[in-house]
Amino acid sequence: MKTAKIRLYVEHRLGEGQTIPLTREQAHYLFGVMRLAVGDAVLLFDGQHGEWRAEVVEAGKRGGVLLVAEQTAPQRDPPDLWLMFAPIKKARTDFIVEKAAEMGAARIIPVQTDFTNSERIRQDRLQAHAVEAAEQCGGTYVPEVCDLHRLDRMLADWPAERRLMFCDEGLAGHAAALAGDLPRGTPWAILIGPEGGFSDGERAKLAAMPQAHAVSLGPRILRADTAAVAGMTLWQQVLGDWA
């Protein structure tokens, strides 16, 4: 079998000998854009059963079929980590979702804060960005991208067992690190604020939560998309699967 250079996420359980029908969009990508043909190899993952090598057995303009041959990598799930962020401009929101998927978020939750400029998102489009990021970075897991949630409601019903790393732009320039002696392997979330920052009411709610840990992301106030990457990096290096 030829060397596989393309990875594809499929919504079918994968196993040896399984045949995978392609959607019209997948067929167009593989055969129209990437110019694959019968006999060529593709790497597949379904988000639950690792990565598998498959061969093209039928190729057409509107569809096709792949035959699963062998497993090439085990399933690698991320830590139980949510990334919560206030949506910003379209391209920068796309960037946040893509990087969160690459860096190991298990769930991505856009939140409506008091100062959030965007009041709606295209959840299906953002989910597609998460799939593409997982395909390109070698991941075997695709994080769920949720629809827009109101932050105040989420904080009011916050799970007692889930800790919250609150990236507070008000602490820029101050020493407020994420303690390395916090318990590992427990559920966590990271909260990134909007371009206008958090309101006084939101800060008060977060300060009153025993699960919340306010941290500084350095001496300068970061843009929201930069803060998301910095926050993910900090958490992963101290408490995640990078440490």
Q: Where are the domains of the chain?
A: 7-73, 81-239
Which stretches of 88-242 are DSSP H helices?
A: 90-103, 123-137, 151-156, 200-207, 224-239
Q: How confident is the model at residue 151 (pLDDT cuts 50, 70, 90)?
A: very high
Average pLDDT value for residue range 227-232: 95
* CA–CA dist 43, 239 (Å, integer): 31
pTM value? Answer: 0.92
Tell me the percentage of the chain whose pLDDT exceeds 70.
95
- Is the separation of the CB atoms in 161 and 96 below 8 Å? no
Q: How confident is the model at residue 173 (pLDDT cuts 50, 70, 90)?
A: very low
Cβ-in-10-Å burial (0-12, 13-18, 19+) of 55 comes to: middle
The label of the residue with tokens 């939750």 reads 109
96-150, pLDDT tens digit by residue? 999 999 999 999 999 999 998 777 899 999 999 999 999 999 999 999 999 999 9
Residue 161's nearest CA partner among 193, 192, 191, 183 is 183
Residue 155's nearest CA partner among 116, 201, 123, 186 is 201
User: Would you tell me the crossing angle of helices 224-239 and 90-103 to the nearest 10 degrees?
Assistant: 10
Across the chain, what does the average pLDDT equal?
92
Q: Which of 23-32, 76-85, 151-160, 180-189 has the lowest mean pLDDT?
A: 180-189
Topology classification of domain 7-73: Ribosomal Protein L25; Chain P (2.40.240)
Q: Which CATH class is domain 81-239?
A: alpha beta
